[in-house]
Structure 1
Amino acid sequence: MKEKWPDLSGKRKNRAGKWAVRIILCVFAAIMVLPLLMLCADSLMGRRELIETCGAVLAGQGERAGFRLFPNYPTLRAYVRLLLDSPEYFTAFWNAMLQTVGVLAGQLLAAVPAAWAFAQFRFPGKKMLWFLYMLLMILPFQVTMVSGYLVLSGAHLLDTHWAVILPGIFSTLPVFILQKTFAGLPKEVLEAARLDGAGNVRIFLDIGIPLGMPGIFSILILGFLEYWNAIEQPMTYLKTEALWPLSLYLPRMIQAEMASAFAASIVTLLPAVLLFFAGQENLEQGIVASGMGRAVKSKNREDW
């Protein structure tokens, strides 16, 4: 009998394909990381070196912009000036933090109970109300900008922090994510709690919230990333510069002090980056939470 030799050509093709995919992914990753590296390098440059590299774009000086991954004369002067001699930056930082935290706190109070009601209760008009939620979720801000402006103007909330906070509290995206999370909870656990005499409020507080924490963390992370970098809402509803968040203050810094603007961009980026890496696992769990619930259901059916 003839011995069968292993198919080495197939293994070589698989390895070559894997290496090709890795190389392509590394190239795309480098392209995405390159702007951040440029930002870090520019924040360590002096004014003269910045004009030599970015003057054509930022200051209208020169014919062509350059690129330097490492500054020739690195300095921390921009960071020192930003952190020790820029009270306007700290005011904008506080405004951004106040508006973002206010939106997230309101979403916890409004979106979590609403998502639980959509996932666990039956009531008249539920499908129509859910359809309206989905319709509002896909509408861009430009569509609802005029109506929102008129409502806030009638309530005398324009040019206040509440003009940015209140519309964000009633955003529909957190309800959509949490509804999928709560709908995927094992029905057996909820039924067992009801048989033990637990009411709806106790089930929500003792079972729904603990099991739905991945989804809650995911909406907090996504909400922070969205409203920390929001531009259109503050630009539309805030006219007083003392109320502007960082997203509106940074473009003005570029005109006044280029080096400090790059340093401010790095400092502004840090809270969002740290929060993302700290809650990355919870964010992934929250996104796939509904799939986990379906997997539990299918496994229980197989066991029966």
Structure 2
Amino acid sequence: MKRKVTLIILAILSVVAWLPLWLLISGSFMPVDEINSTLGPVLNETEGFARWPLFPQYLDVRPYVQLLLDSPEFFKMFWNSLGMVIPILIGQLLLGMPAAWAFARFKFSGKKILFTIYIALMLMPFQVTMVPNYLVLDKMQLLNTRWSIILPAACSTFPIFIMYRFFKAIPKEMIEAIAIDGAGPFRTYIYIGLPLGAPGIISALVLGFLEYWNMIEQPLTFIKDQSLWPLSLYLPNITTDNLGIAIVASVIMLIPAILIFLWGQTYLESGISVGGLKE
């Protein structure tokens, strides 16, 4: 009986969690006049209460056609997002993996102090580091370029924290065994660290993609040229005239994030659980 009650509660919570996504998908096929009528009290400040039906009265694919065929700026911003997110993730791997391995497996002077600084930087929100980043990027003449987004994000300390926990969990006996076989630090990192730390690496990639695919504040602060804006800045331009297109754009923007999440869900869950453990 207790098990059935637990399953029912979990099923209800699952439906509640997925309901906004379903409403968004169903709304993308909803005619514009129906959207205006159901959301009129919010959009047009008319009397009454806003509502959102589970199913549209009839399907309308014109917003999809208009967005995918008649909106070249949408695809421009889509490729801008990929042109920022992919280099960011590559940079986090190239910088984060060796740093995490060094913190996890090597002993050196000032290690604890340096790692504490890394954690403090990880806890700082963007609003705290925005002005220093702006001044540095201005001196480097990187403002209003993609590099103003890529370089600060590639140097993020959060992936290091995630991967550090996995590298730290590698048994010491395995490290000693491969050292006895004659492997140096670099070969140990390549043949032991990377394969066994792969769950942490993948979970860091998934979290990084979800964060930077949806970033808004960074490009608004550092990029003034709208031709360089990512797709996340396409969505705030919502009015009653293009509400249907905006909903369709939201659905399409969700697709890569959902696919990445489903691909790395197992690693993401293990990464969060390991990252929450005390050392």
TM-score range, shorter chain: over 0.9
Q: Is the 8 A contact 1:215 1:287 kept in 2?
A: no
Residues in 1 aligned to 2:44 and 2:133: alpha-carbon distance in whole angstroms: 37
Aligned residue in 2 for 1:276: 261
Aligned residue in 1 for 2:249: 264
| 1:248 corresponds to 2:233 | yes
| 1:29 corresponds to 2:18 | no
1:223 to 191, 199, 208: 208
Aligned residue in 2 for 1:126: 111
TM-score by length of 2: 0.94
Residues in 1 aligned to 2:175 and 2:110: alpha-carbon distance in whole angstroms: 24
Give the drift of 1:59: 4.5
Q: Is the 8 A contact 1:250 1:261 kept in 2?
A: yes
Q: Is the 8 A contact 2:29 2:56 kept in 1?
A: yes
1:168-247 equivalences in 2 (<5 Å): 168-247=153-232
Q: Is the 8 A contact 2:41 2:49 kept in 1?
A: yes
2:92 to 95, 107, 115: 107
Q: Is the 8 A contact 1:51 1:61 kept in 2?
A: no
CA offsets per residue over residues 85-125 of structure 1, 9 Å max, x none?
11011011111111111110000100000000000111111
Aligned residue in 2 for 1:73: 58
Residues in 2 aligned to 1:131 and 1:289: alpha-carbon distance in whole angstroms: 18
| 1:56 corresponds to 2:41 | yes
Give the drift of 1:29: 2.2
Residues 254 and 210 of structure 1, relative CA distance in 2, 3 Å threshold: farther
CA offsets per residue over residues 54-73 of structure 1, 9 Å max, x none?
23323445543121111112
Aligned-residue sequence identity (percent) comes to 49
Secondary structure of the 1:216 match is: helix
Q: What is the aligned-residue RMSD (CA, Å)?
A: 1.9
1:137 to 122, 127, 132: 122
Residues in 1 aligned to 2:250 and 2:211: alpha-carbon distance in whole angstroms: 16
Residues in 1 aligned to 2:76 and 2:46: alpha-carbon distance in whole angstroms: 31
1:9-24 equivalences in 2 (<5 Å): 15=1, 17-24=2-9
TM-score by length of 1: 0.86
